[in-house]
Amino acid sequence: MISFKFIGHFKCDRDYKDEQPRQGIFSEAAGYIELIKGENYEQALKDLNGFDYIWIIFVFHHNSTWKPVTNPPYNDGNGKKGTFATRSPYRPNPIGMSCVRLEKISGNRIYVSASDILNNTPVLDIKPYIPDYDSFPDASRGWLDNAGKDNYSVKYTGEAESKIIFLKEHGTDLTGAIRSRLVFNPYDPTRKKFEVSGENFVLKFKTWKINFTINDQTIIILDIFSGYTDYNSLSGNDTREDMEIHRKFNGKFL
């Protein structure tokens, strides 16, 4: 029996999988690893500052089951893929790895960017990314060579932009959910990413409703609405703090 212990936890402002893209290279999110004190882990960081990128080995702490086959975000139209042929988080041992950009090291904290890791993720190990050994640009991509990859840009109307800014100032960033769900293959027939509302569409994230339209390869965010009409009870997995943000939002924009 082999046992592991966490060396620390990843900290950021994104708690839900729908807030993060499936790979860090597509992410605008930043965060930091906070190492557990008293284990000499800070000493193990010696000389890491000279690398631009690092590998983070971590645990998919929200997962309790695994799936032998899975439907990855990019697909070639030939059905589900074997889990070992994908980066799916639903694995026999819920271990993940991400290559992220190293920004700085301060004490027991390692600050990174371009991360797809969720808040409070347990970290098992850190390794430097070494281009000489870790990059094989001419390697075969397997079934991914035949996978569709429709990439869309995102634009905001003035009304939507003002609401996005207001929410960010109050600790709620919807841009991660918007990019994660809509930028890549929004019309994927194997997933229900949004609902139709008249001539436009609605993306639901937690208790927020995001109205948008699609023009060629551009997602246009038209407006953002709260799902609350009163504040007598919580909806979904919201906390009291979440509901308070909705109350302030509605007080400003309704």
Are the C-beta atoms of 55 and 98 separated by less than 8 Å? yes
Query: Cα(9)–Cα(158) distance, rounded to whole angstroms?
Result: 37
pLDDT tens-place string over residues 111-136: 999 999 999 999 999 999 999 999 99
Residue in 181, 179, 166, 183 with CA at minimum distance from that of residue 224: 166
Residue span of the structural domain in which 97 resides: 8-146
Query: Cα(212)–Cα(202) distance, rounded to whole angstroms?
Result: 6
Q: What is the DSSP letter of 184?
A: B
Are the C-beta atoms of 213 and 220 separated by less than 8 Å? yes
User: Can you give the CATH number for the domain in which 227 is found?
Assistant: 3.30.2310.20
The residues near 33 (Cβ < 8 Å, ≥ 6 apart) are 8, 9, 10, 11, 56, 109, 110, 112, 123, 126
Out of 106, 127, 146, a domain closes at: 146
Distances in Å between the Cα of 240 and the Cα atoms of 16, 205, 234, 237 are: 17, 17, 7, 10
Into how many domains does the chain fold? 2
pLDDT of amino acid 149: 66
pLDDT of amino acid 27: 64
* Angle ∠(91,111,237) on CA atoms, nearest 5: 55
Q: Are residues 159 and 107 in the same domain?
A: no
Q: Are residues 136 and 204 in the same domain?
A: no
Helix (H) or strand (E) holding 243: helix 240-253
pLDDT of amino acid 208: 96
Place of tokens 């932009």: 161
pLDDT of amino acid 151: 82
Q: Are residues 194 and 216 in the same domain?
A: yes
Distances in Å between the Cα of 105 and the Cα atoms of 49, 145, 181, 220, 234 are: 7, 38, 32, 38, 39
Identify whether 1 is part of a domain: no
Are the C-beta atoms of 211 and 225 separated by less than 8 Å? yes
Amino acid letter for position 85: A
pLDDT of amino acid 92: 95
Place of tokens 């997995």: 237
Counting every residue, how long is the chain?
254
Q: Are residues 141 and 157 in the same domain?
A: no
pLDDT of amino acid 169: 94
Identify whether 221 is part of a domain: yes
Out of 113, 129, 146, a domain closes at: 146
Q: Are residues 109 and 222 in the same domain?
A: no
Q: Are residues 128 and 203 in the same domain?
A: no
Amino acid letter for position 60: F
Q: Are residues 162 and 136 in the same domain?
A: no
Are the C-beta atoms of 33 and 9 separated by less than 8 Å? yes
Beta-ladder partners of 151: 184
Q: Are residues 28 and 136 in the same domain?
A: yes
Query: Cα(234)–Cα(204) distance, rounded to whole angstroms?
Result: 16
Q: Are residues 140 and 162 in the same domain?
A: no
Identify whether 130 is part of a domain: yes
pLDDT of amino acid 26: 61
**What token pair was written down for 149?**
């990859």
pLDDT tens-place string over residues 153-171: 999 999 999 999 999 999 8
pLDDT of amino acid 11: 96
Q: Are residues 139 and 160 in the same domain?
A: no
Instruction: Give me the average pLDDT of each 10-residue run along the chain (254 residues).
Output: 94 82 67 97 96 97 92 80 92 95 97 94 98 92 76 94 95 88 83 88 94 95 95 90 95 94
Q: Are residues 39 and 141 in the same domain?
A: yes
